[in-house]
Structures are given as structure tokens and as C-alpha cells.
Structure 1
């Protein structure tokens, strides 16, 4: 028990609370208490064993989640920590890669390779599955500026990928709400990155490696050091790294459309082979007025790279039987459609960091730091292509042409046509700190300025010049109103040269920037002491002022879509500013020696174009230590997120829409008895004269998103077993009034319902519209969002964010840790960590039912780690297990062997949810078929490292990530682009990666 008493205020709670659920976490807790580690060699050789002699003399530190310095590194809510060295030992090359491995993280909120994705080179985190904007990134306790480009063309977020692990001393993660301490965004928690400081000497680290399956080559050179004088200290860090992109061509199962799960193959696919035209994998095609493909001249397809002659067939069915097939003609297809698509973007980075402190003789300390991050991100999803989807008359052949499609190749372009995001970000801080009132209170005043600039270089197209190149100038119209062209079939059917391509090629540049300037004054100290307790009442306060700005500047030529388009045919613009003033305070009150109460409150005042004004949040927590070896804790707090800047100020992304369902005209047609109206079919390609512009704009009427969170649990060092500890915490958090972007499909459906009181039931019947009350504010909004011409055809649809969604999540974190020191065999540690996401309840609109979709994501994750150290050697072996999750197609009827798929019969339950009855139908007739309840199986990977301290100056480390070279399988009903199920955080296509690190201490 003496040992437990000695540890109570130092390593007991630190060691027990490792809810970190990440390999090597067991070694990390000492970093929290020792905010400054004296050398990298000490960090690298750490085995996680606390220095028992020094433990009793631990100084107070400020731990993430509180403003009051304390001796205990544990508070009422768990904070988890890991060092930068340990991050690198696991093979992580950026902060984001490490954070994404934590079980507290949900599915990444952005797939970088998705067609049309924005911010493809940035990486947000999804703490507790609440979303990208609900966690707060701090560097040395200071809020970080938002990434300039919006996520999914919609919302602001912070980028975790531009921070290389070589500059990190340690990272603290609070996976619980903390708005009463940090203000907006800290709804799901806080990630606080502490950069290196107080280092003596110079150190050079060189790392190289990559994936054994190919791609993802990595090289990193990191030089850091520090110098000290009698009253000054400086630290400097320069790092250069290069990570090559992982392309579809690097993974054979990723570059072909036919890699989709067999359950996704329809009848034509199964009879004739996977139909490339059905998957958008056309390399070269032309269709006549009857919709038939015009057969290319002999040998045409072979002239183009990644092209082969394919034949298109359609299959007619009746019930469960195939009644006939139609030969639609031949065209050139791309068998490896995704070979040029990037699975993981590459990056080249050059980063520098300089920090220093100067102590005046009167107790004042001047400090400052400057960091510059320079990154070039490399990505691509598709090469430029020529497409003309409206009917016209071809004078050259004397026939009507329905559509032309032609994928350009790298050989024709003359370059790989990659997109390069050239990013620069700097962060400058200057401050002064000292004491007052005879040293009873500490104060700290700091100024911080940050700016983030992204210049996105891409290959654009002059649409009008491209049309002229292949079609020539329009030569009038036919009597029926069709435009007349004379196609240059020689150019169309044969490869062109880079010189010809230059006639319509355009290089474009989108620019985005964001800035954050902030001032902060902090004060903390002891107020008084109750006579019956040993500790004083602690108090802290903070006053902040901040100014945010952002600006989206697309290439100005994008305003004219006829002469200039970017690869994704979108146009994101907007900009604005926000000022914030904040006041917060916190008290730490020892009720008795074994019971401590913490309470905090904060007020944030906003000046911007939204309806946000004043946000008030508060939080409280209890820590009870009935025994020296046991901590029982709990916390509660209210949280908020101010409407993000993109949601308020985005000027609009404009995307032309040619395939859509017009719900209003569909309802009118059904009323008139026309049950075959094409307006009821959302898969028909409209003539270009019937296209409309889809606009996504910000919402100035938005108000802050509000939330709450609570945790309770325990940390226990098991008596009688030295080094054995366990912890468990239940957590719950929710968001109300959340911002949800209403899709254009929802706007059209609700516009029709609000105007008519009906919704289309398929294309044959109508049912009452009950989603919203006619005449309500919501109905007035969506009616105004749809613009129509005199003929009633849609000309534009505007959609954007509204405050309606709700999301509630809860779960359990638990950990077990054991430490064993031996004289002959070295020191051993082991840790097993577990997170179970018990609930994920969500609704998009206030009228929607609150559904628990827990199993649509990974419900549980377990990680484990074993470490060993003896003399100059150390090693680790770790593993990650992701629980299973529902596979694509879950709950649908099984596909019949001939490829026909029945539809499940559903009913609406009393709570408004849709429930499968277990029956399947085709055309209203029951079919003897079963529902598919497939799951993506559990995912387990192992990683390891070994290090050798060759001499006091030199160390060599070898790391293997994913030892058994596992890659995910393709689920039966998976289709699309990334056929593996990326919802499993651990599932991947990278495979095994090897890294060798050489560490040399120069002096």
C-alpha cells in the first residue's frame, strides 16, 4: 500500500487512466507531467517506467481540459497522452494518421479520393463520430486557424495532416466536451499538440520506408536542437519529408470497375461481363438518334492507352425471368477506370519551428515561437474528358447524334494532369508571463497570429474551344430545331497530340486563405484554504479576443462555364470575417481531502453575419479518492459550436444538373393521369436546354449548435498486484440544433409537397405530404429556393445549411495495464484498451425519427500493446481489432442468380421508422427470396518495432506496420470506386509498410 500511496498524486492516475486505446500509449503518460523532456534519446528509450524517486517531487502542470495547474495529471474527465517519438515508432508520419488510429475516432468525414471532393489534401478528425467541426485542435494550448477550403464544399474544419510527427513532443486528447474551458468547437473534445521545447544539443533523424505492395514511399529528414544560457533558451526544428501518393494502379483490385462485388452485377453484367458503360467507364463512344452505339473504326480502341473494344447489352425482364436482350452496339471502354485515381494523396513538406524564452531578473519571462508549414499535396480523380450530351445533327455523316463521350489520356495531354495543392501556413506567438500578489498568482499574456493559404493548381478545360475542336462551329439548326455540326471524326476516333490538346487546355488556380489573430490573458492561483483540507481552493480566469477571416477565390474564369471549367465543374466562392470576445473562469474546490469539486463557466460574444450573439456554457466535475489506489470521477458540461465561417459566408458552389426528378411536375402529371411522365424518373439525362444550376449557399440566419456531455468512471490500481491497473469511463454527448445541409433532392421534394400537399409514390400514385406543415417557415424557404421559368421548368435550385439536425452518441472506454520490472530479463509493459460505441442516434430534420444507426459504423475497437526494454534494446508488439459493421446492401433482398434483385416489403412503425417485413417483391408480387444481412468481418492488424541504442549518440529503429500484410476484402454488394469498406477505420488497402529510422545525436 505504501507504493500505492507514493503514486497517488503522480503516476497512479496517470498510469491507470490510459483510455488512449492506441499502441504504445502505456509509455505516454509521463509526458503529461513532464511537459519538458530533456532529450530525444531519453524519450526514445523510455519504457514507460516512472521514476519513483522523482514522482513525489512532481511539479504542478496544466493538463488539457483545465486552466488550473495541478499535481494530479488526472481530472474529472480522462485525458490521454502519447509522445511524438512513440507516434513515429508506430509508423505514423503525420498527426492525423495517429489520431485516426484511436478508437475514440469515427469514420473519417472525408474520402479524399471521392470525385468532386474539395479539400482533398487536408485531413479532419471525427472525434466520437460527431463530425469534423466538433473537435478543437490546439498547438501549445492555442487555437489553430481553420483550413481555408471547406469540407465537401460546405463546412469549415481544422487540418491535422500538415503537422509532421517530428516536431511533436507529445499530444493530449480529451475526448469529452470542454466548451466551458475552450469555447466553440470543443463539443466532442480537444486535441492539444505540445511541440518540443527545453531540448539541449542537436539531433538528426532520418527515416525511410514504404509499402511492400508498392506505393506510399516515404522519406523524412528531421533536425532539431536547443541551446541555453544563464537566462535564455531556444529550440529549433527543421523537417523535410516526402510521401508519394497511392494510386489505383498501385492496387490491382482498385483500378478496374469489374472489381465490384458480384452481388452488384446486374443481369446484363452477368450474361455478358461487367458493363463498363453502366459504370461510367467509357473511353470513347458515340450514340446515334436511336441510342445505339456507333461502332468505332477497326483498330480504334487499340490506339489509346487503357482502352478496349466492348459491346453494350441491355436485358429486359419480367418478374424473376429474363425475357430478352438487346445489342446496343460497341464502344471503347476503360477496363482500368480508376488507375489514375488517387487512393491516398501524396505530399511534399518543408517545415520549420523556432521557439525561445528569456528570463528577466524580476521574475518576468518573455517567450515566443514561430512555425512555418509548407506542403504540396498531390491528387487526382479523373483526367479531362470531352462530353456532349445533347442531340444534334451531324452534317458529316447525315445522322442524328445523341451523345459523344471521349476520355483524354495522359499521352494526349502530355502530362499526368495531377492537381497540386500548394499550402503555406504560419503560426507566430509572443507572450509575457510572471507572478503577482507576492507570487500567489500567475499571469500570462500572449498574442498570436496565424494564416493559412492554399493555391490549388489544376488542369482545366476551355469547354467552347474543346467543342469547336471536335465539332466545329454550329452551322445553324434543322427544321426540327436541332443544332447542326460537322464532326471531325478523324480527330474524334484517333489520339490527338499534346500540341492539339493545348488548343483547348487551360491551367487553372483556385486560391483560398484563412487567418486568425488572437490575444489572451490568463491568471491562476490559490484563493484560500478550508481549515479541514490540505489543499487550497484554486482559481483561474481567461480573457480572449480573436478575429477570423477567410476568403475563397476560385479562378475568375470559372464564372463562364462555357469557356472554362475545373475538373469537377464546381465553383466555390465566398468570404467574411468574425470577431469574438470571451471570458471564462474555473474553480477547483477541495471539499474534503478525498473529494474535489471543479466548476467552470464561459461567455463568448460573436460579431459576424450569423444570428449568433452570446453563447454561455458551464461545466462541473467531481473527483473522489476513497482510497489512495482508487479514483472515482464524473463530469458534466454544456457545449456549443458557433456557425462555421463557410456555412455563413459561402457565396455558393454552382454545379449544372442534367439528371434529376422534378417532383412538382411529376405530381401534376399523375394528377392528370399521366403515370409514365419522364419527370418522375430521376435517372433520365435531360436535354441541355432543361438543365438547371444547383447552388449551395451559406445561411446568415444560422444560430450556434448546442450540446451537452457527461462522463463517469473510475481509475483503480489493483491492491496486491504491483503495476496492475484498470480504468473504465462511460461517456455521453449530444448535439441539438445542429447544422444540416439540405440536398437539392430534398428541396425539390419538399417544394412539391409544400405546394401541393402530396408526394409521389413511385410514378403511379400519390400520398399525403406530412414532412412539414404547408405555409410553415420551412415551406416558404424551400419554395423560394426553387426558381422556374414560364414553362414551369427548373432553372436553379438553391440549397444550404439549416439548424435542424440532432445527434447523440454514447459509449464506454476501458483499459487494463500491467507493468513488470525484472533484473535479468528487462522491463515489460502491456496494455489492453477498449471502446464500445453503444449508441449513435441521429436525425436530419426535426420531423424525422431519432434512429440508432450504431451498426452502420464500427461499434467497438480494441487495441493492445506489449513493450520490452533491456539495456540498449527495446521492442514493441501491438495490435488493433475493429469490430464488424454492416456491409453494403444490408437489409435489401438478395440478388437472384440471374442478377435480378427484388425489393424488400416495408412498413412504417408507430415511431415513424421504416421496417422490413422480411418479404421481397417484384412488381407487387411476392418472391421467394431472403433479405441480405451481411457484415464486414472484424479487422485485426499487428504492428511492431525494435530499437537498438548503438552508442550514446546513435540509435537505429525498425518499424513494421501491418505485419501480416492484410488488405481488406471486397464485400459482395460493394460497388463504386473504393470497393473496400472504408467505414472500418482500420481496414485499408495500404498493406504492410516498413520504416527504418537512424537517429544521431550531434552533441
Structure 2
């Protein structure tokens, strides 16, 4: 992982354990070596056995540029810490995508998008959550160039960059600066920068073949990577082709995903404990009184994934079960989630070509072209059909509602969603020197385009209704529609040909593009007479044009005949121009003290209020001893409003599972504690759905922020190869764009109108988040439109500039290298992050609350390597700290499944407050159960990875890698319910288990 290296020029040769290259690295190196980049025959400049740079052949380091600075320098460690790791080490630890590796770093927060999330709009892409600031606050660079945004939005909200589609076989190394750097890189670099350096210097041809997968099934993996390089007197080219295939991990691949009844026992209510957990209906119908109509004998057995279930309703009074009602029978789905994806699959074909031509006069022409072609495979569930109340002329009775889930047996297909993605990235440039070689310059042009075609099985609701219900035959006196239900087709499987009458193949398309030009220059200005090093200077001038377009299937405008599987219709398009000028100075005040200062001006032309952003940064490096670096940095940062947040013209989604807080509060005030409007997990009848409208906001301002770090790096005296570092970091974001979701809007609407809020499903407390007459309250009240009977018709939501977020913590690392002729070479690296605070608020008037406890406070990663002769091995691991379990701070469930609620009392002025005592209701009163809260926690998440490699001969090497050696899988917390059951805020692979891979590497002569 992070390599801490010696701090003075005299120690650099011995400390060359990594090659830190970033935006100006190639420029700096070519200038310092007369325009020629060295190559090694048959290998890169890293030890092929260990993935570490070959220290035995290390030469005097000339000048490199570390991510976070534009100025080449011989001292690699700078004022802010940078993590670097080679592509070989990423594979060595069992990671098959760059995102998997990045997500394991201690500097990362929990994943911001669960792959299986219902309604997710970018299920096959992975954003980064650097410093837990969320997606969009970290910047992805490839070879120092900004990467185009992913075309689809995250949850129909915001832009982000995809960190999972860059092939690991093409990566030379990755650098991570986990601190703000807008004064160097501009927008988005608020939490930090990830700079991916692709392979450049290689001579010969190499074939790498890897295969493996998860021990418990799913995630089968195969990868073929061919790369090589050729050189002449004044030219060099590198080529790379990679083909990989990773199968999806489905719910059916993991036992706890096969049934809703795998929920923690604390989530089982009295009804479930007496009669078994009621899985979701696969096939059912209810009469006018709500009683299930028993299916004909043998019906459930005709359908795959279906069994007969006897439904009951249990009534309670206080702490006792007082009655049982028989509700009849229906066909349930014991494995509802078997077709839900836990980790999407992918098939990719990628190519990369780069080269340079040296004109022998200090002038170089260079260029590169990359194509990433990927097909992502995902799904959520099989389609079904549901009806609201109608009069059935066939049986002469009222049907209150009916539901039917289709099976693969009926559809003839798995109904998976395929995201077909193509991403081009083409760069050309010219670089050289001026003023007698004192200054280096680089002019580059870059163009990128990212296209996604999402193919899915849509649904013709009208045709399905006609198939099962037939045409509407009129209306009853009570206003119910009249149909003649075809019960023969309802209670029996249909054929794929019949299903084809109402299935529709749909395609949503999205594209984004980025064209950018960049001119960079750096060099030495002058030298103070009392120091050895000259004053360094660098500048960059940029111009960029980018845009996006969302193109949902045109048929989506008719919701009766076309509904896509995510119930979303996201539209929007827009463009943006940006012009930037940045500069940086590196001033050696003393031989032991260096000051850096940078500034940047970004001008935006779009329909937001971004206009001009000015940022600056500064840093100090003090080396009182050759073995000690004291450092610190400060900078201002900004993020331009997401283009989709500005230009999205609206997404329309019907919502049928929700809590109506206003109706709930009014019912509780009237003494009705059994009303369903307090429960956000209830599937509403079709007549009670509401329409969710989400649109952009052209009045958005840039999000602004700041960051600072201070710490030290120590090469421990007397212990060769041992170094330690520690840094405190802080960063904040003000004027942050907050997406008001439907739940928030409904909660705040109710609070603003009543002065109360619902806790749990039956407790009322004062609402103090916003004043009743505030502008915010007026806004959210206007965002909800209700029907005459009080039910919700429409909820508007979208982005506003309101929130603030401040995070801080400590990073620490230890590195040790030991060389022994008898036992081989050893390296050890341990990296630790403690997230000290996570303070946030929605409005400036809100209190700044530290909600650090919502996520793991600490993360540790480690790696140890060994190399001797033809053998090498590594052992690595990750530990993520404990997190609060479901229902933390709530009341303990009783043995019979009754869930107490928090008791309340009313003051003389009418204020309702919590008593902190758990109670249950009985006959209009309350009974105190206990005053103890549930304080359960999920234990730390610890996994180990390992690899061993054998260099059979100079051309051939085999490597065996095991990820999650001890087959660690997350347990289901006691109060866990719903989909997935296991917590996902510690690791993205808590259901993956052990994975094994075998790699074969052959170098052609």
C-alpha cells in the first residue's frame, strides 16, 4: 500500500520502492533524461515476481510529479500524504477490479450504492466514497487527465465517475490523494484525487491468463490479458488487449438470500412466530372482505418457487396475544430474492494503444487510445401483475385485490437487465523544452465519450389486464369496475408464447462526452543564495466542453402500455464549457523548509449559477532531520453543480410503498394506533399510489469547501527500512447540494403542518427540525399535492443548496523492508484511519450533529510480501470497525414478538416528549415493559487475502491467489429484515465468501 520513502536526495536511490507518476510525470522524466524514457527488455521497471519496483536496479531519481502537485521534485513525499500501489499488487491481493481495491482502503467510507438496490439507475457502475463525503466529491484521472462522467445518474440524482470499468491488467499503478486539491485539479477534487497511471514503458510481449471464482458459487471469473511494447531509435509503442468475464452473484447463490424468513428473529412479529414468516405472495386473490380465496388444489405446486401458505392475523393487547383470525390460503414465494442480483456480472473487451515519437531535438509527439467495451448483467425480480378492487362477473363477487408473480418457467427467460457500455478515451499531445531546457511544456488534446444502452424486459400493463381480466364491462353502483376474470389462466401457469402478449423489450440510452485541451508548463525560476534548491513554478491552462443526454425508451410516455422494471423515466440533456488557469510555486525558504502555494481560476458557462470559482492552497514541508518530515497543507475546494442536477427535466415514478406521515400523525392524535399509514413497508393498493416527480434546479450554486492536513513522516533512526507516518485531516463542504427525497419531503411536510414527528410507528414527538413559518417549511408543504380525501397525489423532490458536512480523522502508516540473503526480501505495510467526526446539517439554522456512529469509525489494511529466488508470497487483510446493529437504541422485542414503543408524555403546554421508557398499548392505556434499550452492534469485519507465486523459468510464472482466506461471511443481525439481511456498511463483499484464482504469466522472447 502506501510506501513511505526517504526524505532527502541522498537517500532516494535506496528508497525507490515505488514510482509515483502523475499528470506531469512523463513530462518531467523526459525532460530530465534528454527526452528518452528507459525500458527493460521483457519486463516493466518492477520486479515481475513481487510486483514491487526492482530496488537492486534502482537509479538516481531524476524528477517526478506526485499527485497533488504540478511541480516535479526529487523529494517524493510532499505536504499531503499520497497512497500508491502497483497494478501487480492490486491483483496480488485478489482484487479483480480497481473499484474493489479502492473500496478496501482505510480512507474510504461505506459503498454509496448497493448493487441490488431497487430502482437504482446505475447498477453496473461503482462510484467512490472517499472520506465518506459521498459520490462526486472525488476526482478520477487517467494519466493526469480528467475522466468523463458516467452517463446514467446515481439514483436519478447526481453525476459520478465510474471506478470499476478500468481493466486492472492495463494499470501500471494507482495514486490516491485523500485530501482536497481543487487548487490543482479544479471541481470535484474536494475529498481527493485518484490518478490511474496506465502502462507506458515495456519491451517485449506478455500473456496473462487468470481464472477462478467464489467457492460457494457465483462470480466465476476469467481474464485474458495480452500486452507488450516495441521500440526503435526514436519511437516506442505499447499495446494492451484484455478480455474478461465475471458472472453475476445472485440471491440464489447464497442461502440467506433464498427466503424473506431469513430475517433476524427479532424482526419476527407474533404472527410470524406462531405461524411462520409470511413470505411475499406468488399468487393470490382476496374477496371483498379481505379474505384470501383459497387456490384450487395443487395450484401452488404447478409453479416454480411457490408453496401453499396459511395466512393468519394475530391481535394483541399489551404484552399478550389475545386472538387469531384465519385469513385463508395463498401461494407464497419462499425464495423471493433468488433472482435479485447481489453483485452484477460483466463481460468486457478492452484495448489500449499508446506511443511516442522523439524528434531528437527535445520535442516529443505522443498519443494514446483506449476503448472499454462492457456488458453488465443485473436484475431485481421477475415481473408480476397486481389489481385493485373490481367486481368479478365470473364468480359474482367483489375482488378487493389480486397479485401474481411470473416465473422463469412462464417467461422463458431470466429477464435480466443488460447494460451495454462503450467508453472511448483518445489523447494526443506534443511536449518539449524551452529557454535552453529550463522549462518543460506539454500541449495535449483529449476526447472521451461514454455510451450506455440499457436493455430490459418492460411490461404492457394494459395487455396483461386484458389477458387475465378481459375488457371492462361497466361499473357498479359503488363505482367499482366490472370484469369477467379468467380464473383458468389466473390459477395455472401460462406459456412463454402467452407471456409474449404483454412483455415488451425496452431500451434506455444515455451518453456523456468530454473534450478538453490542456497546456502545462513547469521549470525553475531562480535560486535564493542561501539554499541549494531553486524556486519551482508550474502553470496549467485548460479548456473543456462536456455534456450528457438521457434518452429513455420513447414508449415510456404511455404508462399503460409500457412500464420499465425500475418504474423510472429519467430525461434531461445539457452541455457545459469550462476555462481554467492554475499556477503553483514551490519555494525553498531554507534547505530544510519548503513552502508551496497554488491558485486556480475556473470559469463555467452553463445554466447554473456556477460562473467563476476561485480556489487556493498552500503547504509546508520541514525537514529538521534527514530522517524526519513535518508537513501540513491547507486549501479551499469547490464542486460545480452536477449537470444532471441542473438539466434533468424530470423523472416520473409511481410509488406504492411509503408512509404518509401527515395522515399517520392525525390518526395517532385521534387514538388510532393500528392505522397502516405509519408503516413505510406497506404495499399500497394501486388506487393509493402517488406520483414522484424529480427535476433539476438551474439556480444551484457551486458547493464550496476547505481542507487541511498536518502530520509527520519518520524514517526510524537505527532501524534500516522502517518508517512511520501520521497525519490529521479535516475537510468540510458548505452550501452542499441536498437531494430532498420523497420520505424527507413527507416527514417535513407533516412536521411543518402539525409540529409533530413520528418515531417508529406509534410514538409522537415534537418536530424541531424547522420552524413552522420558515421558508423551508413553505417550500416542502408546496412540494406535496393531495387529493380531496387527503391521500397523496404527487410529491415533488429535487436538489437544493442547503447542507453542510464536516469530517475529520487521523491516518497512520507503518512500513518496513528487510533484505536477507538467506531468507529473502520482506516488506510490511500497515495503514490505519480513524474517522473522528462526521458532522452534518441540512440548513444553516440546524444544529451541527456528529453522526460518526452511523458508520464504522476505524479501518485498517495491511500487506506483507516475501520474495526469494523463484518464489514470492503475500498476505494482506482489511479490518473495518464495529457498527450499530438494526434497532440500536430501540426497545427490545418481547419473547412473543411484540415490539414495545418509546413511551411519551404531554407537558402542560401540550408538548409531547419521549419518556425514555418502553411501553406497549392495551385497551387505550399503556403498560411499562422495561427501561432498557437494545444496544446491539455488528462485530468488526476482518478478512485475509493471500497469494503465492512461482517463477518456473524466466518466461513463465504461475500465481495462486485466495481472497477471503477464512471464508468470512456476515451473520444476519437479530433485528435485520427486508432484502439482503446482512449489513453492507462495512464491506461490499459480506456475502461473497472465499474466492480463489490461478494466474498464468508467459513472457515471449
Q: TM-score range by the shorter chain?
A: over 0.9
Residue in structure 1 matched with residue 952 of structure 2 by the alignment: 950
Residue in structure 1 matched with residue 998 of structure 2 by the alignment: 996
Offset at residue 658 of structure 1 (A): 3.9
Q: Is 1:352–2:351 an aligned residue pair? A: yes
Offset at residue 655 of structure 1 (A): 1.3
Offset at residue 618 of structure 1 (A): 0.8
In the alignment, is the contact (CA less than 8 A) between 2:369 and 2:424 conserved in 1?
A: yes
Q: What is the DSSP-based 3-state SS (H/G/I as helix, E as strand, rest coil) of the residue aligned with 2:633?
A: strand
Residue in structure 2 matched with residue 238 of structure 1 by the alignment: 241
Q: What is the DSSP-based 3-state SS (H/G/I as helix, E as strand, rest coil) of the residue aligned with 1:800?
A: strand
CA deviation vs aligned residue, 1:746-777 (integer Å, no higher than 9, x gap):
32344455567777899999987654445544
Distance, in Å, in 2 between the alignment partners of 1:906 and 1:719 is 62
In the alignment, is the contact (CA less than 8 A) between 1:509 and 1:554 conserved in 2?
A: yes
Count matched residues.
978
Residue in structure 1 matched with residue 467 of structure 2 by the alignment: 469
CA deviation vs aligned residue, 1:877-907 (integer Å, no higher than 9, x gap):
1222222111111111111100011123589
Distance, in Å, in 1 between the alignment partners of 2:813 and 2:983 is 28
Offset at residue 848 of structure 1 (A): 3.4
Distance, in Å, in 1 between the alignment partners of 2:97 and 2:781 is 46
Distance, in Å, in 2 between the alignment partners of 1:12 and 1:951 is 28
Q: In 2 relative to 1, CA 679–238 (structure 1 residues): closer, same or farther, beyond 3 Å?
A: closer
Q: In 2 relative to 1, CA 683–877 (structure 1 residues): closer, same or farther, beyond 3 Å?
A: closer
In the alignment, is the contact (CA less than 8 A) between 2:9 and 2:74 conserved in 1?
A: no
How well do the aligned residues superpose, as a CA RMSD in angstroms?
A: 2.8
Q: Is 1:190–2:193 an aligned residue pair? A: yes
Distance, in Å, in 2 between the alignment partners of 1:15 and 1:8 is 15
* Residue pairs, 1:53-64, within 5 angstroms: 54-55=58-59, 57-64=60-67
Residue in structure 1 matched with residue 25 of structure 2 by the alignment: none
CA deviation vs aligned residue, 1:857-882 (integer Å, no higher than 9, x gap):
11112222221111111111122222
Q: Is 1:218–2:221 an aligned residue pair? A: yes
Distance, in Å, in 2 between the alignment partners of 1:630 and 1:680 is 60
963, 966, 970: which one aligns with 1:964: 966
Residue in structure 1 matched with residue 435 of structure 2 by the alignment: 437
In the alignment, is the contact (CA less than 8 A) between 1:904 and 1:931 conserved in 2?
A: no
Distance, in Å, in 2 between the alignment partners of 1:992 and 1:509 is 36
Distance, in Å, in 2 between the alignment partners of 1:13 and 1:899 is 62
Q: Is 1:138–2:138 an aligned residue pair? A: no
Residue in structure 2 matched with residue 248 of structure 1 by the alignment: 251
Q: In 2 relative to 1, CA 627–767 (structure 1 residues): closer, same or farther, beyond 3 Å?
A: closer
55, 62, 65: which one aligns with 1:51: 55
CA deviation vs aligned residue, 1:484-506 (integer Å, no higher than 9, x gap):
01110000000000000010010
CA deviation vs aligned residue, 1:578-600 (integer Å, no higher than 9, x gap):
11111111000000000000011
The worse-fitting range, judged by mean Cα deviation, of 190-199 and 669-678 is 669-678
Distance, in Å, in 2 between the alignment partners of 1:981 and 1:676 is 30
Q: In 2 relative to 1, CA 556–942 (structure 1 residues): closer, same or farther, beyond 3 Å?
A: same
Distance, in Å, in 2 between the alignment partners of 1:159 and 1:166 is 17
* Residue pairs, 1:69-468, within 5 angstroms: 69-276=72-279, 281-388=280-387, 390-468=388-466
Q: In 2 relative to 1, CA 649–341 (structure 1 residues): closer, same or farther, beyond 3 Å?
A: same
Q: In 2 relative to 1, CA 104–677 (structure 1 residues): closer, same or farther, beyond 3 Å?
A: closer
CA deviation vs aligned residue, 1:364-394 (integer Å, no higher than 9, x gap):
1111110000000000110111111x21101
Residue in structure 1 matched with residue 524 of structure 2 by the alignment: 526
In the alignment, is the contact (CA less than 8 A) between 2:51 and 2:89 conserved in 1?
A: no
Distance, in Å, in 1 between the alignment partners of 2:970 and 2:681 is 32
Q: In 2 relative to 1, CA 199–17 (structure 1 residues): closer, same or farther, beyond 3 Å?
A: closer
Distance, in Å, in 2 between the alignment partners of 1:598 and 1:906 is 58
The worse-fitting range, judged by mean Cα deviation, of 844-853 and 443-452 is 844-853
Q: What is the DSSP-based 3-state SS (H/G/I as helix, E as strand, rest coil) of the residue aligned with 2:101?
A: helix
Residue in structure 1 matched with residue 573 of structure 2 by the alignment: 575
Residue in structure 1 matched with residue 853 of structure 2 by the alignment: 855
Distance, in Å, in 1 between the alignment partners of 2:867 and 2:141 is 33
Q: In 2 relative to 1, CA 746–720 (structure 1 residues): closer, same or farther, beyond 3 Å?
A: closer
Distance, in Å, in 2 between the alignment partners of 1:717 and 1:407 is 64
Residue in structure 1 matched with residue 986 of structure 2 by the alignment: 984
Q: What is the DSSP-based 3-state SS (H/G/I as helix, E as strand, rest coil) of the residue aligned with 1:370?
A: strand
Distance, in Å, in 2 between the alignment partners of 1:851 and 1:690 is 36
CA deviation vs aligned residue, 1:325-375 (integer Å, no higher than 9, x gap):
111111001111111111100000000001111111332111111000000
Distance, in Å, in 1 between the alignment partners of 2:951 and 2:675 is 76
Return 5+ residue gaps in structure 1 as ranges. 19-29, 909-913
In the alignment, is the contact (CA less than 8 A) between 1:880 and 1:986 conserved in 2?
A: no
Residue in structure 2 matched with residue 595 of structure 1 by the alignment: 593
Distance, in Å, in 2 between the alignment partners of 1:954 and 1:461 is 53
Distance, in Å, in 2 between the alignment partners of 1:718 and 1:667 is 63
Offset at residue 235 of structure 1 (A): 0.7
Distance, in Å, in 2 between the alignment partners of 1:702 and 1:673 is 43
Residue in structure 1 matched with residue 798 of structure 2 by the alignment: 800
Length-normalised TM-score, structure 1: 0.93
Q: Is 1:709–2:702 an aligned residue pair? A: no
Distance, in Å, in 2 between the alignment partners of 1:918 and 1:272 is 32
Distance, in Å, in 2 between the alignment partners of 1:248 and 1:232 is 52
Distance, in Å, in 1 between the alignment partners of 2:363 and 2:931 is 78
In the alignment, is the contact (CA less than 8 A) between 1:13 and 1:73 conserved in 2?
A: no
Q: Is 1:535–2:539 an aligned residue pair? A: no
Q: What is the DSSP-based 3-state SS (H/G/I as helix, E as strand, rest coil) of the residue aligned with 2:90?
A: helix
Q: In 2 relative to 1, CA 314–743 (structure 1 residues): closer, same or farther, beyond 3 Å?
A: same
Return 5+ residue gaps in structure 2 as ranges. 21-28, 907-911
Q: What is the DSSP-based 3-state SS (H/G/I as helix, E as strand, rest coil) of the residue aligned with 2:338?
A: coil
Distance, in Å, in 1 between the alignment partners of 2:240 and 2:556 is 41
In the alignment, is the contact (CA less than 8 A) between 1:16 and 1:716 conserved in 2?
A: no
In the alignment, is the contact (CA less than 8 A) between 1:771 and 1:847 conserved in 2?
A: no
Distance, in Å, in 2 between the alignment partners of 1:52 and 1:625 is 27
Residue in structure 2 matched with residue 638 of structure 1 by the alignment: 636
In the alignment, is the contact (CA less than 8 A) between 1:13 and 1:715 conserved in 2?
A: no
In the alignment, is the contact (CA less than 8 A) between 1:462 and 1:562 conserved in 2?
A: yes
Residue in structure 2 matched with residue 938 of structure 1 by the alignment: 940
Q: What is the DSSP-based 3-state SS (H/G/I as helix, E as strand, rest coil) of the residue aligned with 1:787?
A: strand
Q: In 2 relative to 1, CA 160–150 (structure 1 residues): closer, same or farther, beyond 3 Å?
A: same
Offset at residue 690 of structure 1 (A): 4.7
In the alignment, is the contact (CA less than 8 A) between 1:11 and 1:50 conserved in 2?
A: no
Q: What is the DSSP-based 3-state SS (H/G/I as helix, E as strand, rest coil) of the residue aligned with 2:535?
A: strand
Distance, in Å, in 2 between the alignment partners of 1:322 and 1:238 is 66
Q: In 2 relative to 1, CA 557–808 (structure 1 residues): closer, same or farther, beyond 3 Å?
A: same
CA deviation vs aligned residue, 1:910-930 (integer Å, no higher than 9, x gap):
xxxx99865212234321252
Distance, in Å, in 1 between the alignment partners of 2:153 and 2:555 is 20
Q: What is the DSSP-based 3-state SS (H/G/I as helix, E as strand, rest coil) of the residue aligned with 1:132?
A: coil
Q: In 2 relative to 1, CA 888–757 (structure 1 residues): closer, same or farther, beyond 3 Å?
A: closer
Distance, in Å, in 2 between the alignment partners of 1:162 and 1:907 is 55
In the alignment, is the contact (CA less than 8 A) between 1:619 and 1:638 conserved in 2?
A: yes
Q: In 2 relative to 1, CA 986–814 (structure 1 residues): closer, same or farther, beyond 3 Å?
A: farther
Distance, in Å, in 1 between the alignment partners of 2:774 and 2:731 is 31
Q: In 2 relative to 1, CA 761–430 (structure 1 residues): closer, same or farther, beyond 3 Å?
A: closer
CA deviation vs aligned residue, 1:464-484 (integer Å, no higher than 9, x gap):
000111111100001111100
Distance, in Å, in 2 between the alignment partners of 1:675 and 1:873 is 69
In the alignment, is the contact (CA less than 8 A) between 2:124 and 2:377 conserved in 1?
A: yes
Distance, in Å, in 1 between the alignment partners of 2:139 and 2:402 is 48
Q: In 2 relative to 1, CA 413–640 (structure 1 residues): closer, same or farther, beyond 3 Å?
A: same
Offset at residue 5 of structure 1 (A): 8.0
Distance, in Å, in 2 between the alignment partners of 1:563 and 1:459 is 13
Q: What is the DSSP-based 3-state SS (H/G/I as helix, E as strand, rest coil) of the residue aligned with 2:184?
A: helix
